[in-house]
Amino acid sequence: MNKLHKFIAAGLVGMLFLVGSVTAQVQQPGQQDAQATAADQQAQIVDTGSAVGPDIHLMCPPFDVMDFASNTVSYLPKRRIFVVVDSIDCAVDILQRSKVKGDTTLKRIARYTTDVYKRRHDLVNIVRPVSVEIVGERIVFLASSAKDSSYLGVLDFDGNLKTIVGFNCTAYAFHINLQDNEIIVMSRNPVGYDVRFVDLDNEKGSLEDHLDRLDTAGVTAFHYHVPKQSERIQAADPVGIGLTVCAVAVVFLALLFIAVILKGYGKAIMKIQDRKARKDAAAAASQNGSTMTVPASPDTAGEVYAAIATAIYLYNEEMHDEENTIITIQKVERAWTPWNAKFYNMNHYFNRK
């Protein structure tokens, strides 16, 4: 049993080393890129510090980072206007805050419905608003469905639609980059992410004029494919040797563990049965006042069980009488009955002819 335990321990150690090597080979490309980028940034910080001296601001994150998140509410203080998203009614509501002191009500002054949802069964195709933002005198909103359909719209504060730009994707957030005169739309696809840049008109005019002239011709799309685990394994192990070795090792280790468990279970059951047999024999001996020997070792117990089984089999065989194996077949004469006579089943028409 000690040799078996050593063999199992050696197999486990080898399996752990094998899995560790395969995992190291199948490291995610994104993690490697992130580590390389972090190393480059650290090197850049060190080089910059050595050139111009240490500066605490070089290690701080930049403040012009754009975070993309769905903005369901936007507020314009100078007009005391709220723009909220109503995803249940598929609408963008424009609410006016009361100027009367003590009045805490919000009055809806306009509404734009992104899609009609009543009496429809294709729920995945309903376009619902997901994000809004107030820019100058315009309201920019993003509406999307659950099935690769979305659009970017521009409203005025009266709820009138000025322009619309459609996309074949499931968008969830956008950001207006006035520095580069563009609107960045983030979306997802079944294999990764899509980033779309909607260019604002570079001609002269106000910001509202630029937003009112949005067009699909100024849309540039960038796609990022997120590799699946199977693709990463295929890239790290094109032939499949590592995966095959892992699968075979796992199967054999599982069979080995099952064999060990069954063997231990059998021994435990035998010990329990032997203990119970000893107790019963001791109780019977104490009642009869006689002594009864009980086998002490499992091998002896097995021989005893075999002898008992043989005796029972021979006893059952001797209980049967010796039977005559000659089979006699006697023909029994039966009286004739017309119920199955072929004569009555024939067609007599041709006989008469």
**Interval 173-187: pLDDT, tens:** 999 888 888 899 998
Residues 15 and 50 in one domain: yes
Percent of the chain scored above 90 by pLDDT? 24
Q: Could you read off the pLDDT of 132-164 as tens digits, one per residue?
A: 999 989 999 999 998 888 999 999 999 999 999
pLDDT for 191 beyond 60:
yes
Q: Could you read off the pLDDT of 311-328 as tens digits, one per residue?
A: 888 888 776 666 666 767
Residues 116 and 16 in one domain: no
Residues 41 and 118 in one domain: no
Q: How many CB atoms lie within 10 A of CB 72?
A: 14
Q: Where are the beta strands (DSSP E) in 103-236?
A: 106-113, 128-135, 138-144, 150-155, 161-167, 170-177, 182-189, 192-199, 219-225
Q: What is the mean pLDDT of the chain?
A: 78
Examine residue 32 and state whether it is found in any structural domain, yes or no. Answer: yes
Q: Give the model's pLDDT for residue 76.
A: 92
Residues 80 and 178 in one domain: yes
Contact 164, 198 (CB under 8 A): no
* Number of domain units in the chain: 3
Which residues are paired to 111 by β-bridges?
93
Say which residue, 299 or 128, is predicted with more confidence.
128
- Burial of 103 from C-beta contacts in 10 A (0-12 / 13-18 / 19+): exposed
Contact 128, 143 (CB under 8 A): yes
Examine residue 11 and state whether it is found in any structural domain, yes or no. Answer: yes
Q: Give the model's pLDDT for residue 37.
A: 45
pLDDT for 258 beyond 90:
yes
- If phi > 0 it is left, if psi is from -120 to 50 it is alpha, else beta; for residue 205 that is left
29-38, 332-341, 343-352: least confidently modelled range:
29-38
pLDDT for 280 beyond 90:
no
* Entry pTM: 0.54
Residues 53 and 134 in one domain: no
Q: Give the model's pLDDT for residue 26.
A: 46
Label residue 287 by pLDDT band (50, 70, 90). confident
Residues 212 and 267 in one domain: no
Q: Which H or E run includes 246?
A: helix 241-288
Examine residue 103 and state whether it is found in any structural domain, yes or no. Answer: yes
Q: Give the model's pLDDT for residue 255.
A: 93
Domain edge (last residue) among 226, 261, 292: 226
Residues 48 and 156 in one domain: no
Domain edge (last residue) among 37, 62, 87: 62
Residues 181 and 281 in one domain: no
Residues 176 and 144 in one domain: yes
Q: Could you read off the pLDDT of 289-314 as tens digits, one per residue?
A: 665 555 555 555 678 888 888 888 88
Examine residue 215 and state whether it is found in any structural domain, yes or no. Answer: yes
Domain edge (last residue) among 194, 226, 258: 226
pLDDT winner (highest mean) among 9-13, 24-28, 204-208: 204-208
- If phi > 0 it is left, if psi is from -120 to 50 it is alpha, else beta; for residue 192 that is left
Label residue 342 by pLDDT band (50, 70, 90). confident
Q: Give the model's pLDDT for residue 250.
A: 92
Q: Could you read off the pLDDT of 73-121 as tens digits, one per residue?
A: 999 999 899 999 998 899 999 999 888 887 888 899 999 999 888 777 8
Examine residue 202 and state whether it is found in any structural domain, yes or no. Answer: yes
CATH label of the domain that carries residue 182: 2.130.10.10
Residues 6 or more apart in contact with residue 170 via CB below 8 angstroms: 144, 145, 146, 147, 148, 149, 150, 187, 188, 189
Residues 89 and 214 in one domain: yes
Examine residue 206 and state whether it is found in any structural domain, yes or no. Answer: yes
Domain membership of residue 279 as a residue range: 242-318
Say which residue, 287 or 38, is predicted with more confidence.
287
**Considering Cα of 12, then 13, then 17, then 23, what sign does the dihedral take?**
positive
Q: What is the CA radius of gyration of the chain?
A: 44
Residues 77 and 58 in one domain: no
Examine residue 216 and state whether it is found in any structural domain, yes or no. Answer: yes
Q: Give the model's pLDDT for residue 44.
A: 41
Percent of the chain scored above 70 by pLDDT? 72
Residues 179 and 246 in one domain: no
Examine residue 265 and state whether it is found in any structural domain, yes or no. Answer: yes
